[in-house]
Structure 1
Amino acid sequence: MLLFLLLEALSFSSATRNPCVVEFGSNSSGVGVFDGTFSSTPQCSYYGVRYAEAPVGALRFKNPVLHDPRGPQNYTKQGTMCPQMNTHNGSIMGVEDCLVMDIITPFVPGTSKPTKLPVLVYIHGGSFVNGYSGLGLWKGADLLIDKNVIVVSINYRLKVLGFLRHPEFNITGNFGLKDQRAALQWIQKYIHLFGGDPARVTLMGHSAGGASVIYHLYAEPSKGLFQQVISLGGTMIAPWALNYKPEGITAELLRRLNVTSLEELQAIDYKELFFDDRFDFSWYFTMIHDGFVPTLEDPDDPEAFITVSPHTMILDKPASDVPVIVGQTATEYRLMLKYLEFFIMGSYFPHKSWQPIYYDIAKLVQSKINASDKPDIIVQLANLASGYYPVKRTIQHLVGQSSSPVYYFQFEYEGRFGYLKRDQNQTNQHGAAHGDELGYIFSPLVEDEAVANRERFLPEWSVHEETVQLVSDFVKFG
């Protein structure tokens, strides 16, 4: 009833006019969805907003081409995900024409709502192989909208389509990271039309998105595209965030497809580019050390994104000297411990012999520790090798090199707004796991139940409100 009265007060007739219309110019406009948060704050949601041309045909395995809106645009339906494998059944989901973003804004055209609102741009995780801008570990951004923060979530190319590198075919690689940069460039150009301030952009990512954020922090061409950074659950020096030797999997791809040219690769059905290499949930976070993830590029390429090892990159001053939060949960890797070798100091040996080294180390550890008898020790080892060490080292170098504030964030609360333990049917595991913090920054998947039964979820609501306050204050004030 309250939301209905608010909508009436805006003097709009939903039957005849939707207020959520963004005007790009005399010949182009986009229509979004007019609704409200659970606390009745009016909002406009624009789904599937294209920021780059479709990376198909001759644009497959090429750098993104920025898109300028032309003609009428329908932003009322969730955009599709970029092609990826369903880790449960091996099917391929999504389509190549996927370079879109979702924009949720408290700015409603035609009202007195202030413009130049701060903007939070979210880069999803998923090990560079899964994920998308729509609903996943979270359901919306109600409390952030209540705080007058615009929330943008972006798609980017994944796995082979996003990170194949093959210089012989002039395939430079790291297209997923370049897509992210293109999205930030589009936001700089157009976010003011959605009520946002391009000079108040915070870039936040989780897991692979968290690593991406740190890559952007150190990338000179990304300078000026954001004013604050939040990296959660991953940094660029994590062992899974760069493949030092992608030649093997590239050769296997070309062998399986029996192709000998770029043109053949661009003509093949995109679904044939994906291996059925899943074997269980642990693959989702670990097997990608041999997979299509960020790689080193030719330093002579003016459009290259990564030209030196992250371990070398982090020794220098970041290209963007901005306020930074680096965070993680208390037990990031508790749910992904069946394959300990992938958590033992992976790319801290950035040379050709590092893979045999960590297999040997893993065997030694497993021979001394029975994981079933002492799971907490294994958890601590995994967190140390793949979580705490990369985060600590990233923070140490940022503090030493940057003149802007650097903050450490550790999320320890274990509650019902978390996601992964329920999704993996491991609710008997204790501790805040990888991704649990997202349910307290964004709207949790159980929001409907939690709103209807608020008294039963009082502890979760309290942590949710405190976490959103922390994030929104950082977005607004740095």
Structure 2
Amino acid sequence: MLKVLTLIVFTVAVVSSIPAGPTNDPLVVQTTGGLVRGERLSCGLLCNYSSFKGIPYGKAPVGELRFRAPLPHEGWEGIREANEHGLICPQNGILFGSNADDEDCLSLNVYSPNLNRRLPVMVWIYGGSFSSGSGNSFIYGPNFFVGEGVVLVTMNYRVGALGFLSTGDENAPGNYGMKDIILSLKWVQDNIANFGGDPNDVTIFGESAGGAATHYLILSPEAKGLFHKAISQSGSAINPWAYQPDPEAVAHQLAKDMGITFTDNADLIRQLREAKPSEMNHATPGMLDYPIPRGHSAIPFVPSLDPANVAPEERFLPEEPIVLMNKGEFARVPYVTGFNDGESLFNILEDFLDPNIWDYYNSQPEIMVPRTWNVSKGSDESISITNDISQFYFAGRQLSRDVRYQYTQYNTDLMFAFGIDQTANIHASIQDEPVYYYKFSFTGALNLVKQLLLLQNYPGAVHADDIPYLFQITSIPAPLLPNNPAIIMRRLMVRLWTNFAKTGNPTPPNDPIATVPWQPVDGDQQYYEIGTVVFSGRNPHGDRMQFWNEMKYKLH
């Protein structure tokens, strides 16, 4: 009897020592908005994690809150079930789903391998040209990250006109989508400890527009202190598509396309606040509506300068990105940045979608000159740069289907690589913290974008081909054997990224997976080749980046 009583006392003591949420349910967690209940999910053999989806972090940005910085969510009563994603923000598209008009979309998702630890936190910012996307696990499944012992957070933020329309004045200051991300990072600071994360060890990372957004957060004074490391994949604030220099003109064009007449910007914004989101999205130009050369100038609704003196609005971007960079006015944190070697391979298909593309280029070849360089058309400089580009990429030939691949190389460099190369150089030259620079060139079974676009006959990794090497994508592709080269590369990519989040070094000593040391940039453009062969080298796209730097140098 004594033994039985002792066993009962021991069992009660053990059970009572298991940490639990406020309701003695270990999957109920306290947040600043209220209680949430998650679920326990599997991430593989002997691997599971706690999942909390659709947690509101911002108040619905409707009515007078449209075209304003977000406000924290007002909270809820009782326990909120957190087993389903929140609504995506209004957008057009099929990849991420479609939400026409419901703007109550500011929510986030938390995936934690252990609610009772203080683990490094990684906050993912999705891409989608600042006009579409979501943080949902359909594409950004957390399995591989939580399996490496980090807490992963993803969020939804406003996109398109609702996220970035600006009149350049107090009526609509702009950058609401970026301010959403900042509010979500503040939520992380206030709440992530209750989910097993360390608020003092937060890494932000993103791809494409998400990579540019990550860079913008580094540059923004409003984001300082909210993160401690950063990774930009295939995106920089100084890529030509990522910064809008004339947002007021874009806002006025949207009004024209919607049939809105207005007396001033205050009247315009009043009317746009009464319009349905779907009406704005349908009137916003799509990729094929952009002027040729597509991607060489700003996407209509992307980050722009915040006007001064618009209190109480926070001023997200006080000066142009390149100005802030050259002044050294940015968060000096350990930074990874890089690009895929075939970013613009998708341009192979451009002439199928627009048969007039080659005639347009050949009739006015000076459009190959980067617009952001502000070189006058017809000037000696413009003609010289045009001839240099023609000789370097096309051997002086006119553009046609015969040089389609060279055309994609030109676009890769102009739209992505050159700006990212500059970003790595400038940050590394100013800050003491390490800057790690990479080129992703691996081609394998998980290069899903390349396969989807039927580009397997061309070398290199196309834009977004790196995503499946980091995230679990629901039901795609069919399971691969553990010794498949793509699975081996995925293990390496996830390990590099999580090593960086944990230590600030992607290849710390004695790592059994990331065995090739990755040297930070130190004056000679060190970079890391992530390909069939992994190595540390110098000057990715060496002669091509040298060509762009020499052209740029001629203008100064």
What is the TM-score of this pair, normalised by structure 2? 0.74
**Contact 2:168 / 2:306 at 8 angstroms: preserved in 1?**
no
CA 1:169–1:266 in structure 2 vs 1: closer, same or farther (change >3 Å)? farther
Spell out the pairing of 1:9-48 with structure 2 (5 A cutoff): 19-24=26-31, 28-48=34-54
Matched, 1:466 2:492: yes
Gaps of at least 5 residues in structure 1 are: 1-9, 109-113
- What is the Cα deviation at residue 383 of structure 1? 1.8
Q: After superposition, what is the alpha-carbon deviation per residue over 1:367-399, rounded to whole angstroms, capped at 9, x for unaligned?
A: 834342133322221122122211111011111
CA 1:246–1:11 in structure 2 vs 1: closer, same or farther (change >3 Å)? closer
CA 1:335–1:17 in structure 2 vs 1: closer, same or farther (change >3 Å)? farther
Amino acid paired to 2:484:
L
Look up the match of 1:389. 418
Amino acid paired to 1:144:
F
Classify the secondary structure of the residue corresponding to 2:273: helix
Matched, 1:291 2:300: yes
Look up the match of 1:236. 237
Look up the match of 1:220. 221
Classify the secondary structure of the residue corresponding to 1:334: helix
- What is the Cα deviation at residue 94 of structure 1? 6.4
Look up the match of 1:316. 327
Matched, 1:349 2:373: yes
Quick one: distance in 1 between partners of 2:84 and 2:449?
26
Quick one: distance in 1 between partners of 2:374 and 2:224?
27
**Mean CA deviation greater in 260-269 or 39-48:** 260-269
Matched, 1:64 2:105: no
Matched, 1:106 2:133: no
**Contact 2:92 / 2:132 at 8 angstroms: preserved in 1?**
yes
Pick the aligned partner of 2:286 from 278, 281, 285. Answer: 278
**Contact 1:371 / 1:378 at 8 angstroms: preserved in 2?**
no
- What is the Cα deviation at residue 318 of structure 1? 4.1
Quick one: distance in 2 between partners of 1:288 and 1:424?
24
Look up the match of 1:115. 117
**Mean CA deviation greater in 393-402 or 239-248:** 239-248
Q: After superposition, what is the alpha-carbon deviation per residue over 1:174-227, rounded to whole angstroms, capped at 9, x for unaligned?
A: 111111111111111111111111001000011111111111111112110001
Classify the secondary structure of the residue corresponding to 2:478: helix
Amino acid paired to 1:473:
N
Look up the match of 2:309. 300
**Contact 1:86 / 1:93 at 8 angstroms: preserved in 2?**
no
Spell out the pairing of 1:397-436 with structure 2 (5 A cutoff): 397-436=426-465
Spell out the pairing of 1:153-168 with structure 2 (5 A cutoff): 153-167=154-168
Pick the aligned partner of 1:86 from 93, 96, 109. Answer: 93
Classify the secondary structure of the residue corresponding to 2:204: strand
RMSD between superposed Cα atoms in Å: 3.4
**Contact 2:297 / 2:372 at 8 angstroms: preserved in 1?**
no
Quick one: distance in 2 between partners of 1:170 and 1:282?
26
- What is the Cα deviation at residue 135 of structure 1? 3.7
CA 1:169–1:320 in structure 2 vs 1: closer, same or farther (change >3 Å)? closer
Look up the match of 2:208. 207
Look up the match of 1:330. 341
- What is the Cα deviation at residue 281 of structure 1? 10
Classify the secondary structure of the residue corresponding to 1:258: coil
- What is the Cα deviation at residue 405 of structure 1? 0.6
Quick one: distance in 2 between partners of 1:400 and 1:67?
40
**Contact 2:296 / 2:370 at 8 angstroms: preserved in 1?**
no
**Contact 1:174 / 1:293 at 8 angstroms: preserved in 2?**
yes
**Contact 1:21 / 1:29 at 8 angstroms: preserved in 2?**
yes
Look up the match of 1:7. none
**Contact 2:240 / 2:297 at 8 angstroms: preserved in 1?**
no
Classify the secondary structure of the residue corresponding to 1:398: helix
CA 1:318–1:406 in structure 2 vs 1: closer, same or farther (change >3 Å)? farther
Amino acid paired to 2:50:
C
Quick one: distance in 1 between partners of 2:435 and 2:81?
40
- What is the Cα deviation at residue 93 of structure 1? 4.3
Quick one: distance in 1 between partners of 2:109 and 2:229?
20
Quick one: distance in 2 between partners of 1:425 and 1:412?
17
Pick the aligned partner of 1:376 from 379, 384, 405. Answer: 405
CA 1:295–1:278 in structure 2 vs 1: closer, same or farther (change >3 Å)? same
Look up the match of 1:3. none
CA 1:152–1:288 in structure 2 vs 1: closer, same or farther (change >3 Å)? farther
Q: After superposition, what is the alpha-carbon deviation per residue over 1:413-458, rounded to whole angstroms, capped at 9, x for unaligned?
A: 11121222233344444311111111111224556722xx425x62
CA 1:276–1:249 in structure 2 vs 1: closer, same or farther (change >3 Å)? closer
Amino acid paired to 1:258:
I
Quick one: distance in 2 between partners of 1:229 and 1:320?
10
Quick one: distance in 2 between partners of 1:75 and 1:426?
40
Structure showing greater Rg: 2
Identity within the alignment, %: 27
Quick one: distance in 2 between partners of 1:99 and 1:168?
25
